[in-house]
Amino acid sequence: MFSEFGASESIGVILFCLVLFFVFKRWWPALVTLIVAVPGGMLLNEWMKVLVHRHRPFVDGPFVDWSGYSFASGHTIGATLLYGQLALFIVPAIKSRRWRVLTLTTAAFFVLLVGFSRIALGAHYLTDVLAAIFFGVIWLALCLLAGRPMRRQRAPVPFAIGAAPEVASVIVPVEAVGAPMLVEPPVR
């Protein structure tokens, strides 16, 4: 089922692999960003569930876990945080506008698949899913803004040839150096 793309077990496995990769590459700012953005946002979602106390829609079915509250969808916010953060890591390294759009569209498609599969299973209302996407995007934006000072501590490198100016000041893996570097736009 498409819900599994947002299940905590799937997200945990992907996060574990990414953490190992970032530690191996010594990409500390990316590691901190990943750990704060994904598990941090999921933890905030659990607190929101406790505050709102919205019960799930009652639909009998073998595919639905009825534990916990409904608002906001945990699977959907997990998918929004994980696939959104992955897109934020990948997009700045892509030179072609077409491939950047495809990357963002693929991330959004996975989020929508997870969200609407939760509705189809009867585990959530539409507003639970929409709120999870909204709060996930807001949390990613806050993490991106909060991480700016951490990324600016590194010495700037020349602007990547062919990269879009709107992706400046973003962590980009640089193979020759072995660690992500800050990419600054050219001075005009």
Count of structural domains within the chain: 1
Q: Is 17 a domain residue? A: yes
User: 66: which 2 tokens?
Assistant: 């009825």
Structure tokens at 158: 């020349």
**Structural domain includes residue 160:** no
pLDDT (tens place) for every residue of the chain, 188 residues total: 666 666 777 888 988 998 999 899 888 888 888 889 998 988 888 888 888 878 777 666 665 656 677 688 888 999 999 999 999 988 988 899 999 999 999 999 999 998 988 888 777 888 989 999 999 999 999 998 887 776 665 544 434 444 554 544 444 454 444 445 555 555 55
**Is 170 a domain residue?**
no
pLDDT of 185 reads: 54
130, part of any domain: yes
Distance CA 51, CA 30 (A): 31
- Residue 96 belongs to some domain of the structure: yes
Smallest CA-to-CA distance from 87 within 110, 70, 66 is with 110
The pLDDT, as a whole number, for residue 10 is 84
Give me the pLDDT at residue 8, please: 72
Q: Which residue segment(s) compose the domain that 135 sits in?
A: 2-155
Flag whether the pTM goes above 0.85: no
Is residue 172 situated within a structural domain? no
Which residue is it, tokens 């997200």?
11
Percent helix / strand / coil, the chain, rounded to 5: 65, 5, 30
- Does residue 179 fall inside a structural domain? no
135 lies in a domain? yes
- Helix or strand holding residue 118 (H, E): helix 97-120
Please tell me the distance from the alpha carbon of residue 100 to that of residue 56, in angstroms, as a whole number. Answer: 37
119 alpha-carbon distance from chain centroid: 21
Rounded Cα–Cα distance for residues 4 and 31 (Å)? 24
